[in-house]
Chains A and B, each alone.
Chain A
Protein backbone atom coordinates (compact mmCIF):
# COMPACT_ATOMS: atom_id res chain seq x y z
CA UNK A 1 0.00 0.00 0.00
CA UNK A 2 1.21 3.48 -0.87
CA UNK A 3 2.14 5.60 2.14
CA UNK A 4 2.27 9.38 2.44
CA UNK A 5 2.46 12.15 5.01
CA UNK A 6 0.47 15.36 4.60
CA UNK A 7 1.59 18.90 5.32
CA UNK A 8 -0.41 22.13 5.53
CA UNK A 9 1.39 25.47 5.63
CA UNK A 10 -0.16 28.82 6.46
CA UNK A 11 -0.45 31.64 8.94
CA UNK A 12 -2.83 29.79 11.28
CA UNK A 13 -3.71 33.17 12.72
CA UNK A 14 -5.66 31.62 14.43
CA UNK A 15 -6.17 28.00 13.35
CA UNK A 16 -9.83 27.19 12.65
CA UNK A 17 -12.06 24.18 12.23
CA UNK A 18 -11.66 24.73 8.46
CA UNK A 19 -7.88 24.13 8.57
CA UNK A 20 -8.43 20.92 10.52
CA UNK A 21 -11.26 19.75 8.26
CA UNK A 22 -9.01 20.32 5.24
CA UNK A 23 -6.52 17.75 6.59
CA UNK A 24 -9.22 15.31 7.73
CA UNK A 25 -10.87 15.46 4.29
CA UNK A 26 -7.57 14.92 2.46
CA UNK A 27 -6.83 11.91 4.63
CA UNK A 28 -10.30 10.38 4.11
CA UNK A 29 -9.87 10.91 0.36
CA UNK A 30 -6.45 9.19 0.27
CA UNK A 31 -7.45 6.30 2.49
CA UNK A 32 -10.40 5.69 0.16
CA UNK A 33 -7.96 5.24 -2.75
CA UNK A 34 -5.76 2.84 -0.75
CA UNK A 35 -3.11 5.30 0.29
CA UNK A 36 -2.17 5.14 3.94
CA UNK A 37 -1.56 8.50 5.65
CA UNK A 38 1.19 8.12 8.26
CA UNK A 39 1.12 11.64 9.66
CA UNK A 40 -0.25 15.15 9.23
CA UNK A 41 1.88 18.25 9.86
CA UNK A 42 0.73 21.84 10.36
CA UNK A 43 3.59 24.27 9.87
CA UNK A 44 2.93 27.94 10.70
CA UNK A 45 4.80 30.50 8.61
CA UNK A 46 7.63 32.55 10.19
CA UNK A 47 7.03 36.07 11.47
CA UNK A 48 9.19 37.55 8.71
CA UNK A 49 6.77 36.27 6.03
CA UNK A 50 5.35 39.74 5.60
CA UNK A 51 4.83 42.89 7.53
CA UNK A 52 1.13 42.38 7.91
CA UNK A 53 0.17 43.98 11.20
CA UNK A 54 -2.48 41.29 11.70
CA UNK A 55 0.08 38.46 11.86
CA UNK A 56 0.74 37.85 15.54
CA UNK A 57 4.01 36.36 16.79
CA UNK A 58 4.76 32.78 15.81
CA UNK A 59 5.37 31.80 19.43
CA UNK A 60 1.61 32.26 19.88
CA UNK A 61 0.62 30.78 16.53
CA UNK A 62 2.60 27.57 17.11
CA UNK A 63 1.02 27.16 20.54
CA UNK A 64 -2.44 27.60 19.02
CA UNK A 65 -1.69 24.93 16.42
CA UNK A 66 -0.50 22.64 19.23
CA UNK A 67 -3.74 23.30 21.08
CA UNK A 68 -5.79 22.75 17.90
CA UNK A 69 -4.20 19.35 17.25
CA UNK A 70 -4.29 18.19 20.86
CA UNK A 71 -7.15 15.73 20.38
CA UNK A 72 -5.89 14.45 17.02
CA UNK A 73 -4.15 11.09 16.85
CA UNK A 74 -2.40 11.86 13.55
CA UNK A 75 -1.94 15.64 13.09
CA UNK A 76 0.85 17.52 14.88
CA UNK A 77 2.25 21.04 14.97
CA UNK A 78 5.80 21.57 13.72
CA UNK A 79 7.87 24.64 14.62
CA UNK A 80 10.83 24.20 12.26
CA UNK A 81 9.56 26.75 9.72
CA UNK A 82 8.33 29.36 12.16
CA UNK A 83 11.44 29.33 14.36
CA UNK A 84 13.76 30.14 11.47
CA UNK A 85 14.84 33.80 11.49
CA UNK A 86 13.97 34.34 7.83
CA UNK A 87 11.11 33.32 5.57
CA UNK A 88 11.53 29.85 4.02
CA UNK A 89 10.19 29.06 0.56
CA UNK A 90 7.46 26.43 0.63
CA UNK A 91 9.53 24.10 -1.58
CA UNK A 92 12.32 24.15 1.03
CA UNK A 93 9.84 23.50 3.85
CA UNK A 94 8.63 20.47 1.89
CA UNK A 95 12.18 19.21 1.20
CA UNK A 96 13.08 19.45 4.86
CA UNK A 97 9.99 17.58 6.01
CA UNK A 98 10.20 14.87 3.36
CA UNK A 99 13.71 14.06 4.54
CA UNK A 100 12.53 13.88 8.15
CA UNK A 101 9.49 11.79 7.26
CA UNK A 102 11.54 9.29 5.25
CA UNK A 103 14.00 8.91 8.12
CA UNK A 104 11.13 8.29 10.48
CA UNK A 105 8.84 6.06 8.39
CA UNK A 106 10.94 4.74 5.50
CA UNK A 107 12.14 5.97 2.12
CA UNK A 108 8.97 4.89 0.32
CA UNK A 109 6.86 7.46 2.14
CA UNK A 110 5.95 10.54 0.13
CA UNK A 111 4.99 14.01 1.36
CA UNK A 112 2.03 15.83 -0.13
CA UNK A 113 1.03 19.45 0.34
CA UNK A 114 -2.60 20.08 1.23
CA UNK A 115 -3.98 23.53 0.49
CA UNK A 116 -7.20 25.44 -0.01
CA UNK A 117 -8.27 26.66 -3.45
CA UNK A 118 -7.35 30.20 -2.41
CA UNK A 119 -3.74 28.99 -2.06
CA UNK A 120 -3.60 28.11 -5.76
CA UNK A 121 -5.10 31.51 -6.53
CA UNK A 122 -1.89 33.08 -5.12
CA UNK A 123 0.35 31.31 -7.69
CA UNK A 124 0.32 34.13 -10.28
CA UNK A 125 0.45 36.91 -7.68
CA UNK A 126 2.89 39.75 -8.24
CA UNK A 127 4.35 41.47 -5.20
CA UNK A 128 4.22 45.27 -4.79
CA UNK A 129 7.89 45.50 -5.87
CA UNK A 130 7.03 43.82 -9.18
CA UNK A 131 8.57 40.44 -8.41
CA UNK A 132 6.65 37.17 -8.44
CA UNK A 133 5.38 35.77 -5.15
CA UNK A 134 6.05 32.28 -6.53
CA UNK A 135 8.91 30.94 -8.55
CA UNK A 136 7.19 28.94 -11.36
CA UNK A 137 9.74 26.12 -11.06
CA UNK A 138 8.88 25.80 -7.34
CA UNK A 139 5.21 25.34 -8.21
CA UNK A 140 6.12 22.68 -10.76
CA UNK A 141 8.25 20.81 -8.25
CA UNK A 142 5.53 20.95 -5.61
CA UNK A 143 2.98 19.50 -8.02
CA UNK A 144 5.18 16.93 -9.77
CA UNK A 145 7.81 15.89 -7.20
CA UNK A 146 5.69 16.09 -4.09
CA UNK A 147 2.02 16.16 -4.93
CA UNK A 148 -0.64 18.75 -4.24
CA UNK A 149 -4.11 18.16 -2.85
CA UNK A 150 -6.43 21.12 -3.19
CA UNK A 151 -9.61 21.52 -1.21
CA UNK A 152 -11.95 23.57 -3.36
CA UNK A 153 -14.10 26.15 -1.64
CA UNK A 154 -16.76 28.53 -2.81
CA UNK A 155 -15.21 31.63 -4.27
CA UNK A 156 -11.85 30.13 -5.20
CA UNK A 157 -11.07 29.24 -8.82
CA UNK A 158 -7.94 27.07 -8.77
CA UNK A 159 -8.50 25.52 -12.20
CA UNK A 160 -9.05 28.88 -13.91
CA UNK A 161 -5.95 30.19 -12.21
CA UNK A 162 -3.80 27.31 -13.43
CA UNK A 163 -5.19 27.55 -16.95
CA UNK A 164 -4.22 31.21 -17.06
CA UNK A 165 -0.57 30.36 -16.29
CA UNK A 166 1.55 29.42 -19.31
CA UNK A 167 2.69 25.80 -19.11
CA UNK A 168 0.44 24.91 -16.22
CA UNK A 169 -2.76 23.72 -17.83
CA UNK A 170 -0.98 20.44 -18.77
CA UNK A 171 -0.01 19.60 -15.23
CA UNK A 172 -3.25 20.63 -13.59
CA UNK A 173 -4.33 16.99 -14.04
CA UNK A 174 -1.68 15.97 -11.51
CA UNK A 175 -3.34 17.99 -8.78
CA UNK A 176 -5.93 16.14 -6.73
CA UNK A 177 -8.97 18.33 -6.22
CA UNK A 178 -11.20 17.38 -3.32
CA UNK A 179 -14.11 18.99 -1.53
CA UNK A 180 -15.42 18.56 1.97
CA UNK A 181 -18.91 17.20 1.43
CA UNK A 182 -19.38 16.69 5.15
CA UNK A 183 -18.62 20.21 6.23
CA UNK A 184 -18.26 22.84 3.48
CA UNK A 185 -17.33 25.42 6.02
CA UNK A 186 -16.85 29.13 5.53
CA UNK A 187 -14.96 29.69 8.77
CA UNK A 188 -11.96 31.96 8.18
CA UNK A 189 -9.20 33.25 10.44
CA UNK A 190 -10.00 36.80 9.33
CA UNK A 191 -13.59 36.44 10.52
CA UNK A 192 -12.42 34.93 13.79
CA UNK A 193 -10.06 37.83 14.47
CA UNK A 194 -12.82 40.33 13.73
CA UNK A 195 -15.16 38.46 16.05
CA UNK A 196 -12.63 38.37 18.89
CA UNK A 197 -11.93 42.10 18.72
CA UNK A 198 -15.69 42.75 18.56
CA UNK A 199 -16.00 40.55 21.67
CA UNK A 200 -18.19 38.04 19.89
CA UNK A 201 -18.07 34.37 20.68
CA UNK A 202 -15.89 32.09 18.53
CA UNK A 203 -16.97 28.90 20.26
CA UNK A 204 -17.41 25.94 17.84
CA UNK A 205 -15.52 27.84 15.08
CA UNK A 206 -12.22 26.48 16.37
CA UNK A 207 -11.40 23.98 19.10
CA UNK A 208 -12.01 24.72 22.80
CA UNK A 209 -8.27 24.35 23.44
CA UNK A 210 -7.47 27.14 20.94
CA UNK A 211 -10.13 29.43 22.44
CA UNK A 212 -8.69 28.85 25.90
CA UNK A 213 -5.20 29.73 24.69
CA UNK A 214 -6.43 32.91 22.96
CA UNK A 215 -8.21 34.03 26.11
CA UNK A 216 -5.33 33.26 28.46
CA UNK A 217 -2.94 35.27 26.31
CA UNK A 218 -5.40 38.07 25.43
CA UNK A 219 -4.71 37.65 21.70
CA UNK A 220 -6.46 39.62 18.91
CA UNK A 221 -8.12 42.03 21.34
CA UNK A 222 -7.59 45.04 19.09
Chain B
Protein backbone atom coordinates (compact mmCIF):
# COMPACT_ATOMS: atom_id res chain seq x y z
CA UNK B 1 0.00 0.00 0.00
CA UNK B 2 1.30 3.42 -0.93
CA UNK B 3 1.57 6.01 1.84
CA UNK B 4 0.63 9.55 0.85
CA UNK B 5 0.09 13.04 2.28
CA UNK B 6 -2.48 15.61 1.10
CA UNK B 7 -1.56 19.29 0.82
CA UNK B 8 -4.24 22.01 0.71
CA UNK B 9 -3.20 25.57 -0.04
CA UNK B 10 -5.35 28.69 0.05
CA UNK B 11 -6.09 31.96 1.79
CA UNK B 12 -8.15 30.35 4.58
CA UNK B 13 -9.58 33.78 5.20
CA UNK B 14 -11.31 32.35 7.25
CA UNK B 15 -11.16 28.53 7.03
CA UNK B 16 -14.62 26.91 6.61
CA UNK B 17 -16.23 23.49 6.82
CA UNK B 18 -15.94 23.53 3.01
CA UNK B 19 -12.13 23.43 3.22
CA UNK B 20 -12.19 20.72 5.88
CA UNK B 21 -14.78 18.61 4.03
CA UNK B 22 -12.67 18.81 0.86
CA UNK B 23 -9.77 17.26 2.75
CA UNK B 24 -11.98 14.53 4.25
CA UNK B 25 -13.44 13.69 0.83
CA UNK B 26 -9.95 13.59 -0.71
CA UNK B 27 -8.73 11.26 2.01
CA UNK B 28 -11.69 8.88 1.66
CA UNK B 29 -11.32 8.81 -2.10
CA UNK B 30 -7.56 8.10 -2.03
CA UNK B 31 -7.97 5.39 0.62
CA UNK B 32 -10.68 3.78 -1.49
CA UNK B 33 -8.17 3.70 -4.34
CA UNK B 34 -5.85 1.68 -2.10
CA UNK B 35 -3.64 4.42 -0.66
CA UNK B 36 -2.95 5.14 2.99
CA UNK B 37 -3.22 8.82 3.89
CA UNK B 38 -0.72 9.66 6.63
CA UNK B 39 -1.39 13.36 7.01
CA UNK B 40 -3.27 16.38 5.71
CA UNK B 41 -1.54 19.76 5.61
CA UNK B 42 -3.29 23.13 5.39
CA UNK B 43 -0.91 25.86 4.29
CA UNK B 44 -2.22 29.44 4.33
CA UNK B 45 -0.83 31.74 1.63
CA UNK B 46 1.66 34.46 2.57
CA UNK B 47 0.60 38.09 3.09
CA UNK B 48 2.80 38.81 0.06
CA UNK B 49 0.03 37.34 -2.13
CA UNK B 50 -1.32 40.87 -1.96
CA UNK B 51 -5.09 40.59 -1.97
CA UNK B 52 -6.78 43.54 -0.28
CA UNK B 53 -9.25 41.46 1.74
CA UNK B 54 -6.50 39.19 3.06
CA UNK B 55 -6.05 39.70 6.81
CA UNK B 56 -2.67 39.12 8.46
CA UNK B 57 -1.24 35.62 8.19
CA UNK B 58 -0.77 35.51 11.98
CA UNK B 59 -4.55 35.42 12.30
CA UNK B 60 -5.12 33.16 9.32
CA UNK B 61 -2.59 30.64 10.59
CA UNK B 62 -4.09 30.76 14.12
CA UNK B 63 -7.54 30.11 12.63
CA UNK B 64 -6.28 27.07 10.70
CA UNK B 65 -4.70 25.79 13.93
CA UNK B 66 -8.09 26.28 15.64
CA UNK B 67 -9.97 24.65 12.75
CA UNK B 68 -7.80 21.51 12.83
CA UNK B 69 -7.51 21.09 16.60
CA UNK B 70 -10.20 18.38 16.59
CA UNK B 71 -8.69 16.49 13.67
CA UNK B 72 -6.44 13.51 14.21
CA UNK B 73 -4.81 13.80 10.78
CA UNK B 74 -4.99 17.39 9.50
CA UNK B 75 -2.54 20.05 10.71
CA UNK B 76 -1.74 23.67 9.99
CA UNK B 77 1.67 24.49 8.50
CA UNK B 78 3.28 27.93 8.65
CA UNK B 79 6.22 27.48 6.24
CA UNK B 80 4.49 29.27 3.37
CA UNK B 81 2.79 32.07 5.32
CA UNK B 82 5.82 32.89 7.47
CA UNK B 83 7.61 34.17 4.35
CA UNK B 84 6.95 37.80 3.53
CA UNK B 85 6.90 37.18 -0.22
CA UNK B 86 4.53 34.96 -2.18
CA UNK B 87 5.70 31.42 -3.08
CA UNK B 88 4.34 29.72 -6.20
CA UNK B 89 2.07 26.75 -5.55
CA UNK B 90 4.55 24.48 -7.32
CA UNK B 91 7.33 25.55 -4.95
CA UNK B 92 5.10 25.08 -1.90
CA UNK B 93 4.34 21.57 -3.16
CA UNK B 94 8.05 20.85 -3.78
CA UNK B 95 8.95 22.06 -0.28
CA UNK B 96 6.39 19.75 1.32
CA UNK B 97 7.30 16.85 -0.95
CA UNK B 98 10.86 17.12 0.32
CA UNK B 99 9.76 17.57 3.92
CA UNK B 100 7.35 14.62 3.79
CA UNK B 101 10.02 12.30 2.34
CA UNK B 102 12.39 13.36 5.09
CA UNK B 103 9.87 12.73 7.83
CA UNK B 104 8.12 9.60 6.55
CA UNK B 105 10.51 8.05 4.01
CA UNK B 106 11.39 8.28 0.32
CA UNK B 107 8.50 6.12 -0.87
CA UNK B 108 5.84 8.49 0.51
CA UNK B 109 3.94 10.54 -2.07
CA UNK B 110 2.21 13.90 -1.84
CA UNK B 111 -0.98 15.11 -3.50
CA UNK B 112 -1.93 18.74 -3.95
CA UNK B 113 -5.66 19.18 -3.38
CA UNK B 114 -7.37 21.43 -5.94
CA UNK B 115 -10.87 22.14 -7.18
CA UNK B 116 -11.78 21.17 -10.73
CA UNK B 117 -12.01 24.88 -11.55
CA UNK B 118 -8.26 25.24 -10.89
CA UNK B 119 -7.42 22.43 -13.31
CA UNK B 120 -9.53 24.21 -15.93
CA UNK B 121 -7.20 27.23 -15.72
CA UNK B 122 -4.25 25.06 -16.84
CA UNK B 123 -4.88 25.92 -20.51
CA UNK B 124 -6.21 29.45 -19.99
CA UNK B 125 -4.63 32.83 -20.72
CA UNK B 126 -4.42 36.02 -18.70
CA UNK B 127 -5.96 39.26 -19.97
CA UNK B 128 -2.53 40.33 -21.32
CA UNK B 129 -2.30 37.20 -23.48
CA UNK B 130 0.24 35.35 -21.35
CA UNK B 131 -0.63 31.80 -20.22
CA UNK B 132 -1.91 31.50 -16.63
CA UNK B 133 0.39 28.51 -16.09
CA UNK B 134 3.81 27.61 -17.46
CA UNK B 135 3.60 24.32 -19.32
CA UNK B 136 6.54 22.84 -17.38
CA UNK B 137 4.92 23.84 -14.05
CA UNK B 138 1.70 22.08 -14.99
CA UNK B 139 3.65 19.00 -16.07
CA UNK B 140 5.51 19.03 -12.77
CA UNK B 141 2.27 19.39 -10.74
CA UNK B 142 0.54 16.49 -12.46
CA UNK B 143 3.58 14.26 -12.12
CA UNK B 144 4.03 14.95 -8.38
CA UNK B 145 0.34 14.42 -7.69
CA UNK B 146 -3.02 16.18 -7.84
CA UNK B 147 -6.23 15.18 -6.10
CA UNK B 148 -9.13 16.99 -7.75
CA UNK B 149 -12.50 17.87 -6.28
CA UNK B 150 -15.21 18.06 -8.93
CA UNK B 151 -17.04 21.38 -9.19
CA UNK B 152 -20.41 21.94 -10.81
CA UNK B 153 -19.93 23.00 -14.41
CA UNK B 154 -16.24 22.19 -14.61
CA UNK B 155 -14.73 19.31 -16.58
CA UNK B 156 -11.11 18.94 -15.41
CA UNK B 157 -10.61 15.61 -17.21
CA UNK B 158 -11.38 17.31 -20.52
CA UNK B 159 -8.76 20.00 -19.85
CA UNK B 160 -6.12 17.37 -19.07
CA UNK B 161 -7.05 15.50 -22.25
CA UNK B 162 -6.73 18.67 -24.35
CA UNK B 163 -3.31 19.31 -22.85
CA UNK B 164 -2.27 15.73 -23.59
CA UNK B 165 -1.67 15.14 -19.89
CA UNK B 166 -2.62 11.49 -19.69
CA UNK B 167 -0.85 8.21 -19.27
CA UNK B 168 1.55 6.45 -16.95
CA UNK B 169 3.57 9.34 -15.55
CA UNK B 170 0.47 11.44 -14.81
CA UNK B 171 -0.62 11.18 -11.20
CA UNK B 172 -4.05 12.81 -11.05
CA UNK B 173 -6.79 11.41 -8.82
CA UNK B 174 -10.40 12.54 -9.26
CA UNK B 175 -12.53 12.52 -6.11
CA UNK B 176 -15.70 10.48 -6.57
CA UNK B 177 -18.86 10.47 -4.48
CA UNK B 178 -18.02 13.31 -2.20
CA UNK B 179 -20.71 13.60 0.49
CA UNK B 180 -20.80 17.33 1.12
CA UNK B 181 -19.97 19.16 -2.05
CA UNK B 182 -21.01 22.43 -0.58
CA UNK B 183 -20.29 25.93 -1.61
CA UNK B 184 -19.39 27.54 1.70
CA UNK B 185 -17.02 30.31 0.76
CA UNK B 186 -14.77 32.47 2.89
CA UNK B 187 -15.95 35.53 0.96
CA UNK B 188 -19.53 34.85 2.03
CA UNK B 189 -18.45 34.29 5.62
CA UNK B 190 -16.66 37.63 5.72
CA UNK B 191 -19.73 39.40 4.32
CA UNK B 192 -21.95 37.70 6.90
CA UNK B 193 -19.67 38.70 9.79
CA UNK B 194 -19.70 42.29 8.64
CA UNK B 195 -23.51 42.30 8.49
CA UNK B 196 -23.79 40.60 11.91
CA UNK B 197 -25.37 37.53 10.41
CA UNK B 198 -24.74 34.16 12.01
CA UNK B 199 -21.84 32.01 10.74
CA UNK B 200 -22.52 29.20 13.19
CA UNK B 201 -22.23 25.71 11.64
CA UNK B 202 -20.21 26.97 8.67
CA UNK B 203 -16.84 26.64 10.39
CA UNK B 204 -15.72 25.03 13.68
CA UNK B 205 -16.71 26.66 16.98
CA UNK B 206 -13.03 27.24 17.74
CA UNK B 207 -12.67 29.40 14.61
CA UNK B 208 -15.81 31.44 15.40
CA UNK B 209 -14.44 32.01 18.90
CA UNK B 210 -11.09 33.20 17.55
CA UNK B 211 -12.77 35.58 15.09
CA UNK B 212 -14.89 37.10 17.87
CA UNK B 213 -12.05 37.43 20.35
CA UNK B 214 -9.89 39.24 17.81
CA UNK B 215 -12.76 41.21 16.24
CA UNK B 216 -11.76 40.07 12.76
CA UNK B 217 -13.59 41.03 9.55
CA UNK B 218 -15.72 43.67 11.25
Contact = CB atoms under 8 A, between A and B. Distances in A.
Contacts of B180: 17, 185-187, 191, 204-205
A194 B27 CA distance: 17
Contacts of B188: 181-183
B181 interface: yes
Contacts of B204: 204
Interface in A167-188: 181-187
Contacts of A192: 179
Nearest to B198: A24
A203 B24 contact: yes
B53 to A, nearest CB: 16
Residue among A182, A185, A192, A202 with the highest chain B CB neighbour number at 10 A: A182
A21 interface: yes
A205 B204 CA distance: 11
The bracket for how many chain B residues form the interface is: 20 to 34
Contact of B202 (A27, A182, A186): A182
B127 interface: no
B173 interface: no
A94 interface: no
A145 interface: no
A71 interface: yes
A183 B201 contact: yes
Given A20-B200, A21-B202, A204-B17, A183 B179 contact: no
Nearest to B29: A200
B52 interface: no
A205 B25 CA distance: 11
Interface in B167-210: 179-184, 188-189, 191-192, 197-202, 204-205
B154 interface: no
Contacts of B202: 17, 21, 182-183
B24 A185 contact: no
A176 to B, nearest CB: 16
Contacts of B181: 186
Residue among A20, A204, A205 with the highest chain B CB neighbour number at 10 A: A204
Residue among B27, B189, B197 with the highest chain A CB neighbour number at 10 A: B197
A11 B90 CA distance: 46
A25 B201 CA distance: 11
B71 interface: yes
A208 interface: yes
B146 interface: no
B150 to A, nearest CB: 12
B179 A182 contact: no
B205 A183 contact: no
Interface in A196-216: 200-205, 207-208
Contact of B179 (A71, A72, A200, A208): A200
B59 interface: no
Contacts of A207: 201
Given A21-B202, A205-B21, A181 B192 contact: yes
A57 to B, nearest CB: 23
B198 A27 contact: yes
B182 A185 contact: yes
Interface of A: 17, 20-21, 24-25, 27-28, 32, 71-72, 181-187, 191-192, 194-195, 200-205, 207-208
The 5 nearest A-B residue pairs measured at CB: A185-B182, A28-B197, A24-B198, A204-B20, A182-B192
Interface of B: 16-17, 20-21, 24, 27-28, 70-71, 179-184, 188-189, 191-192, 197-202, 204-205
21 contacts: A17-B201, A17-B202, A20-B200, A21-B201, A25-B198, A28-B197, A181-B191, A181-B192, A182-B191, A182-B192, A183-B188, A183-B201, A184-B182, A184-B183, A187-B179, A191-B180, A201-B28, A202-B179, A203-B20, A205-B21, A205-B179
